[in-house]
Amino acid sequence: MIEIQRILCPIDFSDYSRHALDHAVALARWYESTITVLHVFSTVPVAAYAGMQGFEPIALTRADRDQLLEELKRFVETESAPGVSMDATICEGDTTIEILNQATAMKAELLVMGTHGRSGFERFLLGSVTEKVLRKASCPVLTVPRLHPDAVSATPVLFKQILCPVDFSDCSMQALNYAMSLAQEADAHLTVLHVMTDELAVMPDAYGAIIMNDRESLADFRARREDDARQRLKNAVPEAVAAYCRVEPMVSSGKPSREILRIAADQQSDLIVVGVHGRGAADLMFFGSTTNHVVREATCPVLTVRRP
C-alpha cells in the first residue's frame, strides 16, 4: 500500500487553488497526512513572459512578506479541518522552480495543484506552471480541474471510480500499482484500460504477417491483438487485489487521449491515474500529445505518476 505522509499544495489565492486545497484536505484525512500550503511570489514580471525587455525583477519588502504570509494563513484557515495538520509558507522566485524545490526539500509524497483551464495568453502563462511541474516533479502530482465538484473535507474517501490507462511501459505499470493501491484503500471500481492504436501504423511488419498467413484477415489480426492485450491486462493485476476492489480490464481502439477522456466520461470516473515518461525529447512529445491533453481536458482529477 502507498503511504502519503506529506502533501504539498501550491496556491495562488484563486478559486482554482482553493478547490485543489479542498481535495488535499480530503486526502489528508484519509492518509493522516500533513499538508504544506505554499505560495510563490513570482519575481519575474508578467511582461517578461511575453519577451519584453527592460523589466527588473520584483522583490518583496519585509512588511510585504509579513502581510502576504498573514493572507496565506487566513486562506488556509478557511479550509482547515479537524485532525488535519496544515502549515503555510511563502517564497520568492520562479514559480515552477520553487514548487519543485519545496517538494524535494520536504520529501513530499504528493503534489496537489489546481488547473485554471483558461484560453489564449492566460492559459499559456498560467497553465505553463502546472505543465512544467508535471514534467519535472519526482513525486506523483494530482491536478484538480476547475469544473470538478468540491471535495467534502469531512469525507476522507474521494475516489470510488478509477481509470488507469496502461500501455505496458514501465511508467504505466508504476501508475497501475499506484491505482491498485488507491482502489484497494477505497474499495473502488478500477478500470484498467489499454488503447490500441492503428496496428498497421505502429507495426510495420503487420502487412507481411497478414500476407504470409492467408488464413488470417485484418479483422482476425486485430481481434487476436485485442485478446492478447486483454490477457496482459488480467495478468498485470494480482489476484489479491481483486479481493479488495473490483477490477475491470478494458481494451479499446483509437487515439489514446481521446479514448481515455471518452471512457472516463462514460464511467463518470472520479480519478484518472496515468504514468509519465522520462524527460527526453521523445518522452516530452508523448507528454504533450497524451498526458498533457488528458490533464487539460479531463473533468475529473488526474494523478500523474513517474517511474522512480
Banded model confidence at residue 77, pLDDT cuts 50, 70, 90? confident
Walk across the sheet containing 110-114 and list its strands: 85-93, 34-42, 6-10, 110-114, 141-144, 302-306, 271-276, 161-165, 189-196, 246-253
The DSSP code for 217 is: -
> Which of 151, 135, 92 has the alpha carbon at shortest distance from 301?
151
Q: Does residue 240 or residue 289 have the better pLDDT?
A: 240
Q: Which cell numbers hold the place of 142?
A: 494530482
Burial of 48 per CB tally in 10 Å (0-12, 13-18, 19+): middle
Q: Is 235 helix (H, G, I), strand (E, B) or coil?
A: helix
pLDDT in tens, 106-125: 999 999 998 864 443 344 44
For the residues of 253-276, what is the DSSP string, one character each?
Answer: ES-HHHHHHHHHHHHT-SEEEEEE
Sorted by where each starts, the structural domains of the chain and their CATH numbers stand as 1-150 (3.40.50.620), 159-308 (3.40.50.620)
Please compute the mean of the pLDDT values over residues 155-163 and round it to a whole number: 80
Banded model confidence at residue 286, pLDDT cuts 50, 70, 90? very low
CA distance 25 to 33: 9
Torsion 164-169-171-173 (CA) sign:
positive
> Which pLDDT value is given to residue 215?
57
Please compute the mean of the pLDDT values over residues 272-287 and round it to a whole number: 63
The pLDDT of residue 227 is above 50: yes
The pLDDT of residue 63 is above 80: yes
pTM for the complete prediction? 0.83
**Which has the minimum average pLDDT: 1-10, 26-35, 72-81?**
72-81
The pLDDT of residue 205 is above 90: no
